[in-house]
């Protein structure tokens, strides 16, 4: 895998989150929904050609109600300004419940990813394992991209479910760290194949989807941590976290330490940097440029090479 490309992509995505895409993704109240390329009648015909497995009901639960607190440099959520700030703070779109049959195939496909990667072959094997014809992978017009899309959305649902009600009493930065750790732990079974996914997401036609998921992830984390900011801090905090998470995820793909200890130390150090320097560097663009260069330097010291570093 070409690490030049992955690292350059990570850095460019972080800046894109700030300058082009993060604001539209956070401000628009849109709901993303999986749209298979087959119609319902075509899907029924496919199911009639093979043994139909026992149906399972899709999880139609949405994100739990979230309470607003404050951020790294925060005050208590019981502040008298709580209600007024709440009214002007955008609420993140909850994860979209997947369509039942495609979701079953996609969920089964995740068990094949460690061997076959984010590929059409993985989807085909998952379809057969679920009792459908192998050609059922035609449900997914984007192939591996649909699988990555499903995985990232599924991780959102699982992270929200796992953290809801479990962070009471923690400080804001502790909540953010806990959420990042929970989310990164979901990468463990797939980390060896994740560089492949990063390369797919780096394709120009997939960048919008990639940045969209990153924007939704950091928005979820800040809400779970109690974010009630309604000014430019709302954007800067999400930009900071987007950079931290994406660089930590990239670091994780190269981590050979036991139980990914080095990855979580890297995460802890980056969060500490934000707490220490976030107040001093108020300009978003300046902070991103500073933080990006810092992350590049650290990753380069671990052996990752990129343009401009030889």
Enumerate residues 6+ apart whose C-beta is below 8 A from 120: 137, 140, 143, 144
Percent with pLDDT over 90 in the chain? 44
Residues 6+ apart with CB under 8 A from 52: 131
Domains annotated on the chain, with CATH: 3-30+143-301 (1.10.357)
pLDDT of residue 209 exceeding 90, the answer is: yes
Q: What are phi and psi of 305, to 5 degrees?
A: -110, 150
Question: pTM of the entire structure?
Answer: 0.64
Q: How confident is the model at residue 93 (pLDDT cuts 50, 70, 90)?
A: confident
Give the per-residue pLDDT at 164: 87
**In this predicted model, which residue has the larger pLDDT, 152 or 133?**
152
Mean of the pLDDT values across residues 68-87? Answer: 37
Task: Name, in order, each residue with C-beta under 8 angstroms of 160's C-beta and a sequence gap of 6 or more.
Answer: 63, 64, 95, 220, 224
Query: What residues contact residue 156 under an 8 Å CB cut-off, 6+ apart?
Result: 95, 213, 216, 217, 220
DSSP track, 123-187: HHHHHHHTTS-GGGGGG-TTTHHHHHHHHHHHHHHHHHHHHTTS-TT--HHHHHHHHHHHHHHTT
As a whole number, the mean pLDDT across the chain is 73
Candidate from 14-18, 117-121, 135-139 with smallest mean pLDDT = 14-18
pLDDT in tens, 42-73: 545 444 444 444 444 444 444 333 333 333 33
- Give the Cα-Cα-Cα angle 233, 234, 240 (nearest 5 degrees): 75
Provide mean pLDDT across the span 30-38. 43
């Amino acid at each position: 895998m070409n690490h030049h490309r992955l690292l350059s992509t990570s850095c460019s995505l972080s800046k894109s989150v700030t300058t082009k895409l993060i604001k539209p993704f956070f401000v628009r109240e849109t709901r993303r929904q999986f749209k298979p390329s087959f119609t319902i009648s075509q899907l029924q015909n496919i199911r009639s050609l093979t043994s139909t497995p026992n149906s399972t009901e899709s999880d139609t639960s949405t994100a739990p109600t979230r309470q607003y607190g404050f951020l790294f440099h925060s005050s208590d959520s019981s502040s008298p300004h709580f209600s007024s700030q709440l009214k002007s703070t955008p609420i993140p779109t909850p994860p979209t419940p997947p369509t039942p049959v495609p979701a079953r195939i996609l969920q089964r496909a995740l068990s094949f990813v460690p061997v076959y990667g984010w590929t059409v072959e993985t989807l085909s094997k998952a379809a057969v394992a679920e009792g459908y014809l192998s050609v059922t992978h035609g449900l997914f017009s984007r192939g591996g991209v649909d699988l990555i899309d499903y995985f990232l959305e599924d991780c959102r649902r699982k992270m929200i479910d796992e953290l809801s009600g479990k962070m009471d009493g923690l400080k804001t930065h502790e909540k953010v760290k806990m959420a990042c750790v929970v989310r990164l732990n979901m990468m463990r079974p797939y980390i060896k194949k994740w560089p492949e996914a990063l390369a797919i997401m780096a394709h120009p036609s997939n960048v919008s989807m990639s940045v969209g998921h990153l924007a939704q992830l950091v928005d979820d984390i800040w809400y779970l941590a109690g974010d009630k900011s309604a000014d430019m801090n709302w954007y800067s905090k999400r930009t900071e976290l987007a950079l931290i998470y994406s660089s930590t995820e990239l670091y994780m793909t190269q981590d050979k330490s036991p139980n990914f200890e080095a990855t979580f130390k890297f995460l802890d150090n980056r969060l500490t940097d934000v707490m220490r320097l976030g107040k001093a560097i108020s300009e978003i663009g300046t902070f991103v440029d500073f933080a990006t260069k810092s992350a590049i330097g650290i990753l380069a010291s671990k052996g990752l090479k990129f343009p401009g570093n030889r």
